[in-house]
């Protein structure tokens, strides 16, 4: 085995935290290698509720630092990724026996004013402030039982979580990082101020690389990487908590989402999803430390249907579920008994040997999609210190496709509709939501549908498939159908098989 390849930073894990750190580090001039054992975002980072949010409910657990940082990040991400992040209205139907109105008003007041520097009374958010609303069947009450007459309205943002990961990886690569998917860190040993790491994956099977520093961003596997691959015993530990979602036919035609209170004091979300559907989630189920991959249980489906049906005009039952997904939250163990109460804040841990000159390893515990960019900045500071030559930069540069040349997303859409009047309208909107200003690289010279190549169904054409393979590390059908796009939701089994066969033939 050769060990000639030498990097400044080896990052283990191609979820949002690994990809975000790779982008930040590569942009600061470091020679970066990121290894992901499967596909980018194949762990927790494609299974979230897909909100860029402060987390209204975290206020009940006094997580003011986390909420303030998250709300500030909401603004930054809206700015650097306007194609995959957009504002969403949330309606909270009022039920006085669950939480009194004064408590909700106080929470929303804080939510409107938390941000950089914690409390702000200037205009730090581009989103409208919260307010009380009447819930009418043709307005904010659409989809609800008529007995819910009053509620509250506030704003957060939606994100395509899996694409956020891929765009960070693309940006990292554009800044010189090497991204290897289907490549696992098997083990690593410290040799003084360098790590010698054994990787397993294509091309060429097992090989060794050297790196001056390492980041363990393995999400639910963070402890496994420390224990088994690095042979490091840390006292801090991770709590694995499964969260599941179901997708059902759309429950109303308006644009708003619901945040619904449950008698167990948890909240669940009902969010318009992929035009025809409503996303319902999530659950909090503690799982054993070695159960990294997981599926929704029958009890969780029943829980979500029941919680939603307490509010919806039309009951939601398990027979209506068209798709479901589950993810594992790798939470930092703060000793809370209730899995819903465990902190959602992140912790970055440098192991002790780093302090005495040994090659450092930084491990990421916990975190949110929302805070990944700040987490990456903190990781850089912890590893390399603060200095003008090591300055933060990722808040300035748009993610790939996010530079709309001063246009709003709607402006971009209208522009494309004008330039490509004969391309399918809904498809064009979806393509722009996936690729933003880079959509042009896919459309090329196609002015009619047939110019886009084979139509695989579900809004996927050969030109985009080629592009995803060439530019976004897509290799298998799952990568394309459920992560680079959500076309899988709109396809028949035969259509999905068509994508699988095409990819196999190309490989």
Ligand X SMILES: Cc1cc2nc3c(=O)[nH]c(=O)nc-3n(C[C@H](O)[C@H](O)[C@H](O)COP(=O)(O)OP(=O)(O)OC[C@H]3O[C@@H](n4cnc5c(N)ncnc54)[C@H](O)[C@@H]3O)c2cc1C
H-type alpha helices, 189-291:
222-224
Q: Confirm or reject binding of residue 433 to ligand X (CB under 6 A).
A: no
206-216 vs 32-35, strand pairing mode: unpaired
Beta bridge partner(s), residue 271? 279
Among residues 34 and 135, whose Cβ is nearest to ligand X? 34
Q: Please pick, from the candidates 17, 125, 130, 168, the single residue that binds ligand X as defined by CB under 6 A.
A: 17
Distances (CA, A) of 115 to 52, 74, 110, 394: 14, 10, 10, 18
Among residues 222 and 412, whose Cβ is nearest to ligand X? 222
The CB-of-369 to ligand X minimum distance in angstroms stands at 3
Among residues 340 and 455, whose Cβ is nearest to ligand X? 340
Distance CA 118, CA 134 (A): 31
The CB-of-92 to ligand X minimum distance in angstroms stands at 16
Among residues 108 and 369, whose Cβ is nearest to ligand X? 369
Q: Confirm or reject binding of residue 160 to ligand X (CB under 6 A).
A: no
The CB-of-449 to ligand X minimum distance in angstroms stands at 35
Q: Please pick, from the candidates 10, 18, 71, 463, the single residue that binds ligand X as defined by CB under 6 A.
A: 18
Among residues 354 and 370, whose Cβ is nearest to ligand X? 370
The CB-of-367 to ligand X minimum distance in angstroms stands at 5
Report how many residues bind ligand X under the rule CB under 6 A: 40
How far from the centroid of its chain's Cα atoms is residue 292's Cα? 17
Applying the rule CB under 6 A, the residues between 233 and 262 that interact with ligand X are: 243
C-alpha gyration radius of the chain: 23
Letters for 341-370 (x = contact with ligand X by CB under 6 A, - = none) are -----------------------x--xxxx
Applying the rule CB under 6 A, the residues between 31 and 50 that interact with ligand X are: 35-38, 42-45, 47-50
Residue for token digits 């005495």?
A: 356
Q: Please pick, from the candidates 10, 11, 16, 487, the single residue that binds ligand X as defined by CB under 6 A.
A: 16
Among residues 211 and 282, whose Cβ is nearest to ligand X? 282
DSSP-derived secondary structure for 271-313: EEETTTEEEEE---EE--TT--S----HHHHHHHHHHHHTTBS
**Sole window of 12-20, 138-146, 293-301, 476-484 interacting with ligand X (rule: CB under 6 A):** 12-20
Q: Confirm or reject binding of residue 173 to ligand X (CB under 6 A).
A: no
Applying the rule CB under 6 A, the residues between 189 and 218 that interact with ligand X are: 217-218
Q: Please pick, from the candidates 135, 162, 185, 469, the single residue that binds ligand X as defined by CB under 6 A.
A: 185
DSSP conformational letter for 225 = I
Among residues 80 and 423, whose Cβ is nearest to ligand X? 80
Among residues 47 and 278, whose Cβ is nearest to ligand X? 47
Q: Confirm or reject binding of residue 439 to ligand X (CB under 6 A).
A: no
Among residues 93 and 243, whose Cβ is nearest to ligand X? 243
The CB-of-316 to ligand X minimum distance in angstroms stands at 18
Distances (CA, A) of 389 to 28, 176, 383, 384, 393: 8, 18, 14, 11, 11
Q: Please pick, from the candidates 11, 13, 240, 361, the single residue that binds ligand X as defined by CB under 6 A.
A: 13
Distance CA 364, CA 219 (A): 7
The CB-of-15 to ligand X minimum distance in angstroms stands at 2
Comparing C-alpha atoms, which of 41, 489, 483, 46 is closest to residue 278?
Answer: 489
Among residues 51 and 362, whose Cβ is nearest to ligand X? 51
The CB-of-217 to ligand X minimum distance in angstroms stands at 5
Applying the rule CB under 6 A, the residues between 267 and 326 that interact with ligand X are: 282
- Spatial neighbors of 496 by CB under 8 A, at least 6 apart, are 477, 481, 488
DSSP-derived secondary structure for 370-423: TTHHHHHHHHHHHHH---GGG---TTTSPPTT---TT--HHHHHHHHHHH-TTS
Among residues 15 and 459, whose Cβ is nearest to ligand X? 15
Q: Confirm or reject binding of residue 221 to ligand X (CB under 6 A).
A: yes
The CB-of-154 to ligand X minimum distance in angstroms stands at 15
The CB-of-144 to ligand X minimum distance in angstroms stands at 22
The CB-of-329 to ligand X minimum distance in angstroms stands at 4
The CB-of-379 to ligand X minimum distance in angstroms stands at 11
- Spatial neighbors of 393 by CB under 8 A, at least 6 apart, are 24, 27, 28
The CB-of-415 to ligand X minimum distance in angstroms stands at 30
Distance CA 392, CA 501 (A): 44
Which tokens go with 416? 């494309």
The CB-of-52 to ligand X minimum distance in angstroms stands at 6
Cis bond before residue 49 (omega within 30° of 0) = no
Among residues 56 and 460, whose Cβ is nearest to ligand X? 56
Which tokens go with 32? 């970066």
Distances (CA, A) of 376 to 5, 39, 330, 461: 24, 20, 17, 35
Residue for token digits 């004013």?
A: 113
Distance CA 306, CA 383 (A): 47
113-150 per-residue burial string, b: 16 or more CB within 10 A, e: under 16: bbbeeeebeeeebebeebeebebeeeebbbbbbeebee
Q: Confirm or reject binding of residue 475 to ligand X (CB under 6 A).
A: no
- Beta carbons of 240 and 291 less than 8 angstroms apart: yes
Residues that bind ligand X (CB under 6 A): 12-18, 35-38, 42-45, 47-51, 184-185, 217-221, 225, 229, 243, 282, 327-330, 364, 367-370
């Amino acid at each position: 085995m050769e060990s000639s390849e030498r990097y400044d930073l080896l990052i283990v894990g191609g979820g949002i935290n690994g990809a975000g750190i790779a982008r930040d580090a590569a942009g600061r001039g470091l020679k970066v290698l990121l290894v992901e054992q499967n596909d980018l975002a194949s762990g927790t980072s494609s299974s979230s509720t897909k909100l860029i949010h402060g987390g209204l409910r975290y206020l009940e657990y006094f997580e003011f630092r986390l909420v303030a940082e998250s709300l500030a990040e909401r603004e930054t991400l809206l700015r650097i990724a306007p194609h995959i992040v957009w504002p969403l209205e949330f309606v909270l139907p009022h039920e006085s026996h669950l939480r009194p109105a004064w408590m909700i008003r106080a929470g929303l007041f804080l939510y409107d004013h938390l941000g950089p520097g914690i409390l702000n009374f200037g205009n730090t958010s581009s989103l409208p402030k919260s307010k009380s609303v009447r819930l009418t069947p043709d307005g904010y009450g659409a989809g609800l039982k008529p007995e819910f007459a009053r509620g509250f309205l506030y704003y957060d943002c939606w994100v395509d979580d899996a694409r956020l990961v891929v765009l960070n990886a693309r940006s990292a690569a554009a800044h010189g990082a090497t991204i290897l998917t289907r490549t696992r860190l098997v083990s690593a040993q410290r040799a003084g101020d360098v790590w010698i790491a054994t990787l397993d994956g294509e091309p060429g099977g097992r090989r060794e690389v050297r790196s001056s520093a390492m980041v363990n961003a393995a999400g639910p596997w963070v402890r496994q990487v420390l224990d088994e691959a690095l042979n490091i015993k840390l006292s801090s530990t991770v709590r694995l908590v499964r969260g599941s979602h179901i997708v059902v036919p759309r429950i109303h035609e308006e644009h708003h989402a619901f945040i619904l209170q449950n008698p167990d004091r948890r909240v669940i979300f009902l969010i318009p999803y992929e035009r025809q559907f409503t996303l319902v989630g999530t659950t909090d189920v503690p799982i054993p430390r070695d159960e990294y991959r997981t599926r929704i249980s029958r009890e969780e489906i029943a829980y979500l249907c029941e919680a939603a049906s307490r509010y919806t005009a039309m009951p939601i039952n398990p027979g209506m579920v068209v798709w479901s997904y589950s993810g594992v939250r790798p939470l930092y163990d703060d000793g809370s008994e209730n899995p819903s109460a465990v902190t959602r804040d992140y912790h970055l841990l440098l192991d002790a040997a780093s302090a005495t000159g040994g090659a450092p390893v930084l491990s990421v515990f916990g975190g949110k999609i929302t805070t990944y960019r700040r987490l990456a900045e903190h990781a850089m500071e912890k590893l390399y210190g603060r200095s003008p030559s090591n300055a933060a930069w990722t808040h300035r540069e748009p993610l790939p496709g996010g530079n709309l040349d001063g246009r709003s997303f709607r402006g971009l859409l209208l522009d494309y509709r004008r330039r490509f009047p004969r391309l399918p309208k809904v498809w064009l909107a979806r393509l722009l939501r996936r690729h933003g200003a880079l959509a042009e690289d896919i459309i090329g010279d196609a002015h009619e549908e047939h110019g886009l190549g084979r139509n695989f169904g579900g809004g996927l054409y050969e030109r985009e498939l080629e592009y995803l393979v060439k530019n976004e590390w897509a290799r298998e059908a799952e990568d394309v159908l459920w992560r680079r796009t959500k076309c899988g939701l709109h396809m028949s089994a035969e259509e999905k098989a068509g994508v699988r066969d095409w990819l196999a033939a190309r490989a």
